[in-house]
Structure 1
């Protein structure tokens, strides 16, 4: 009887111990669930060897900037642009000096603006412009301008012949010779040869004109000054301009 009791107690103690131990041991399924969780935890914590000191994030790519040579080149080009001098202005003193050299001036209006007539006046004006007349020399319109011919660019335009209007090559240049004549009068040049037209002309008062015709009528005057003079002649804005300068 005592042996049965002892055996029963021993068996009960064994079963109690086994049952308690079995509660602390996880099942196979729960072990599988724990292992991934542990792996995740290990991945979330970096190892000491993998931890790097904080580094600045790479900045966004900036627009290409010029290198030092380009910057220097731009700087030099900029400085050159700043150093560039403005276009030289005319010296007012010098301009005034040139104006003081003008001895006499005269101009006439081009009332007949026929292109051929204006063309003839321009051609003759180019011949006389900048012409210099020394002391004692005689100015001859026909000699300076030369023969008026189509091969030299002159065209047919109106002229006065015996009081009648007709056309001839070089017509219209009498307005230039008349303008020069009145400029010479203002300077008291010695008039040697001068002819009136056979009829009235609209660009000059009566008795102030000077008709010219190559080989027939000329305008001549002498430089009776003790210095040389130069002619400035231009055709612009519907007028003929003549100035005589001291040189």
Structure 2
């Protein structure tokens, strides 16, 4: 049977205010009827859970988020649609429905309002695609409907679009439209099932899990005929229409960048200055320059708008300060507040923020809640990825099972998985840390370390050279390797942190204290760490012209005066110490000092 050509379809009548009032009146009547029906025959809202998250996948459906070649006005509505999908996905992802129970799209989502974060997308109404808060969610209802067909769920209620030209699924009767609250999608299954909804960078994913799959014939409820494509208010140009309300400043409201930061780093500040743009907004804990807080001294003048969260930041500061000496407990508290800050940022993001530059501490939480879906993003890396960090700590614990400190600072597996997935999806890893840049591969964007201003420090004299260990005495900082390497050498060791591996850890090593003048008195700075995220003390030593021995984990490879050794290699550390110290002392004496074999100190 031949279909009629699209251009043969009659032109739709121009909408009038009267037709709009009639539509709203009819819709109100239908909404009231549905409300009465749901009151007399209530439909349950089922909670999100994790009891079925390991059950088999019975259906997996995905659809593209974007269309190419949109005008700025259409692009704005597309961004609004994706924002609506992000918020709806958060409400529906992980919902678990008992056997025989009815699932309702609107019962679980509720009305789409600005207060919930929904934005302006496109909605098909009276033959036109009009801007509407919450518009575009029919892509989600259609995806759930198709996944339900594949999984063999019973379709209790489903409605087709009034115009079959809105998409390919509508032409074959596989679409499902929704309109609050009477045009609904409702499903049922003989067995318990789980709904999962995710928004990736370019697709909407719907997955259904259940232990019971029923083969049902997929029947097309309607075979819609061809019809003329609907007009779109953003592009139709029909100025006489009462709905005509051009999207003001559409070009300025699309594809903006949001910078989501936490603690201030001079390297990040310099990077943002180098990539200054007029369409960039800054999200920061609080305005450090206004509040005179050096830890948040971000330059807000580099950005079009700045959004701060002082109440949340002050609560975090108070809570974590009470746990200053609590070790692992304090780290758990810091992660908790990172999650709360990420949630505040995510809720404040707008639809037009299509690209993000994100602090790594916020990354796994933004990924978990779906705020990164439909967006491109770069990551400002301030430490090793958690997966690699755990591997390093495990290696240190394997080499030194007597240490009790390597068991600290393990993040939960879910957090590690979220960060790993987010880093894989990121466009760039922006970092001054050379080892992190190597791990990033082609995604690395290496920026220079910011060296502090410093005059050349005085070099200490004397036969016993001063070695500075600029960290607390911890296994992960290489304390065991340093103790072994220093055994028998005529040196004095200065510690710049507490002794946390036992009060007698450095027995047999000559300890000294220089106070505030430690850098001037130092002959060499040594940090054989397994993990070192922010080597500020080493950078200060490099700026002062002091020789530094460090591992690749310290991230300063290539800086002048830096010798790189392998983490866990006490023999290599000893040889590097002897070589470096002999350059400014009695070479014969140092060579003789280096002869004894290594043994536990």
Give yes or no for TM over 0.5.
Answer: yes
Report matched runs for 1:83-98 at 5 Å: 98=54
2:140 maps to: 176
Shift of 1:204: 3.0
1:105 corresponds to 2:41: no
Instruction: Name the structure 1 match of 2:478.
Output: none
- The corresponding residue for 2:156 is 192
In 2, the alpha carbon distance for the partners of 1:191 and 1:246 equals: 16
- CA drift of 1:246 comes to 2.0
Q: Is the 8 A contact 1:111 1:203 kept in 2?
A: no
- Give deviations 1:185-238, integer Å, cap 9, x for gaps: 111211111111122223635211110111231000111x2x311111101131
The aligned counterpart of 2:188 is 222
Work out which structure has the larger RCO, using CA pairs closer than 8 Å and 6 or more positions apart in sequence. 1
Write out aligned runs for 1:93-242 (5 A).
98=54, 101-112=56-67, 114-199=78-163, 200-202=165-167, 204-206=169-171, 207-223=173-189, 225=190, 227-242=191-206
**Structure whose alpha-carbon radius of gyration is higher:** 1
Count of equivalent residues: 148
What value does the CA root-mean-square deviation take over the aligned residues?
A: 1.8
Where does structure 2 lack aligned partners over 5 or more consecutive residues?
1-52, 68-74, 212-601
Question: What residue number does 1:5 align with?
Answer: none
Deviation >6 Å, runs of 4+: none
Instruction: Please say which of residues 206-215 and 174-183 is displaced more in the overlay.
Output: 206-215
SS at match of 2:169: coil
Distance 1:149 1:203 in 2: 29
TM-score normalised by the chain length of structure 2: 0.24
Per-residue CA deviations over 1:108-134 (Å, capped at 9, x if unaligned) read 112346211100011111111000011
Q: Is the 8 A contact 2:100 2:192 kept in 1?
A: no
**TM-score of the aligned structures, taking structure 1 as reference length:** 0.56
Contact kept, 8 Å, 2:161 with 2:170, in 1: the verdict is no
Per-residue Cα deviation, 1:141-179 (whole angstroms, up to 9, x for no partner): 000111100111011111111221111110011100000
Structure 1 unaligned regions, length at least 5: 1-96
